[in-house]
Amino acid sequence: MNKIRILPDYLANQIAAGEVIERPASVIKELLENCVDADAQNITVIAENGGIDRISITDDGCGIAQEDLLNALKRHATSKIENTEDLFSINSFGFRGEALPSIASISKFTLTSRTAESDNAWAVVTEGAREFDLKPASHQVGTTVQVCDLFFNTPARRKFMKSTRSEQSAIQDVVIRTAIANPLISFKLIIDGVEKVNFSRSMGDDLEDYLPRLGQLLGKDFVKSAVAVEGIRDRMQIFGYTTLPTHNLGTNTKQYMFVNGRPVKDRLMLAALKQAYHDRLARNRHPICVLFVDLPPRQIDVNVHPAKAEIRFKNDREVFSLIYNSVKTILDEHSKETTTAATNEALSYFKPQTQVRPQSEYVANDLWQASANASNMQQLSESKLGNNFNTINNQDAGLASFDFQAPITPAPAAHVVDEEKQILSKQDFLNYPLGAAVAQVHNTFIVSQTTDGLILLDQHAGHERMVYEKLKADIMTKQVEVQSLLIPEIIEMSEFDVDLIVNAQEELAKFGLEVEGFGPTAVAVRGTPALMGKMSAKELILDLVEDLKELKGIDSLTSKLEHILATMACHGSIRSGRKMTVEDMNALLRQMEQVPNSAQCNHGRPTYVKISMTDIEKLFDR
Res 42: pLDDT:
97
- Mean pLDDT for 272-296 is 88
Region 375-622: CATH code: 3.30.1370.100
Residue 344 pLDDT grade (very low, low, confident, very high; cuts 50, 70, 90): low
Residue 234 pLDDT grade (very low, low, confident, very high; cuts 50, 70, 90): confident
- Mean pLDDT for 506-523 is 87
Res 85: pLDDT:
54
Of 63-72, 324-333, 356-365, minimum mean pLDDT range: 356-365
Res 17: pLDDT:
53
First to last CA, the chain: 94
Return the closest-CA partner of residue 173 out of 90, 84, 256.
256
372-411 pLDDT, tens digit each? 333 443 343 333 333 333 333 333 333 333 333 334 444 4
Q: What angle do CA 42, 45, 46 make, to 5 degrees?
A: 145
- Mean pLDDT for 280-308 is 81
Residue 591 has pLDDT above 60, yes or no: yes
Return the closest-CA partner of residue 199 out of 207, 214, 476, 124.
214
Distance in angstroms (rounded) separating the CA atoms of residues 443 and 408: 14
What sections of 431-494 are H helices per DSSP?
459-476
Residue 505 has pLDDT above 80, yes or no: yes
Res 48: pLDDT:
97
Res 564: pLDDT:
64
Q: Could you tell me which residues come within 8 angstroms of residue 386 by beta carbon, excluding any fewer than 6 positions away?
A: 392
Distance in angstroms (rounded) separating the CA atoms of residues 183 and 213: 7
What is the share, in percent, of the chain residues with pLDDT greater than 90? 31
Distance in angstroms (rounded) separating the CA atoms of residues 595 and 598: 6
Total Cβ atoms within 10 A of residue 86: 15
Res 391: pLDDT:
32
Residue 120 has pLDDT above 80, yes or no: yes
The helix/strand/coil state of 578 is coil
Residue 508 has pLDDT above 70, yes or no: yes
Please say whether the beta carbons of 128 and 106 come within 8 A: yes
Res 288: pLDDT:
94
Crossing angle for the helix pair 495-503 and 537-550, to the nearest 10 degrees? 90
- Mean pLDDT for 434-458 is 90
Domain boundaries along the sequence of the chain: 9-199, 207-334, 375-622
Of 272-286, 308-322, 570-584, minimum mean pLDDT range: 570-584
Please say whether the beta carbons of 421 and 414 come within 8 A: no
Q: Could you tell me which residues come within 8 angstroms of residue 1 by beta carbon, excluding any fewer than 6 positions away?
A: none
Residue 506 has pLDDT above 80, yes or no: yes
Give the chain's mean pLDDT: 78
Distance in angstroms (rounded) separating the CA atoms of residues 188 and 43: 6
Res 75: pLDDT:
67
7-57 pLDDT, tens digit each? 666 566 555 555 558 899 999 999 999 999 999 999 999 999 999 999 999
Res 182: pLDDT:
92
- Mean pLDDT for 101-116 is 93
Topology of domain 9-199 in CATH is Heat Shock Protein 90 (3.30.565)
Please say whether the beta carbons of 24 and 173 come within 8 A: no
Residue 424 has pLDDT above 60, yes or no: no
Residue 77 has pLDDT above 70, yes or no: no
What's at 31, amino acid-wise? Answer: L
Q: Let me know if domain 207-334 sits in CATH 3.30.230.10.
A: yes
- Mean pLDDT for 292-320 is 80
Residue 304 has pLDDT above 70, yes or no: no
Most confident segment among 114-123, 526-535, 575-584: 114-123
| C-alpha distances in Å from residue 114, one per residue of 43, 148, 332 | 15, 21, 52
Most confident segment among 326-335, 503-512, 544-553: 326-335
Of 242-251, 318-327, 456-465, 528-537, minimum mean pLDDT range: 528-537
- Mean pLDDT for 161-178 is 92
Please say whether the beta carbons of 233 and 296 come within 8 A: no
Order of strands across the sheet that contains 226-233? 226-233, 236-243, 289-294, 255-259, 262-264
Distance in angstroms (rounded) separating the CA atoms of residues 278 and 98: 41
Q: Which residues of 146-173 are buried (b: 16+ CB within 10 A; e: fewer)?
A: bbbebbebbeebeeebeebeebbebbbe
Distance in angstroms (rounded) separating the CA atoms of residues 96 and 102: 11
Please say whether the beta carbons of 300 and 311 come within 8 A: yes
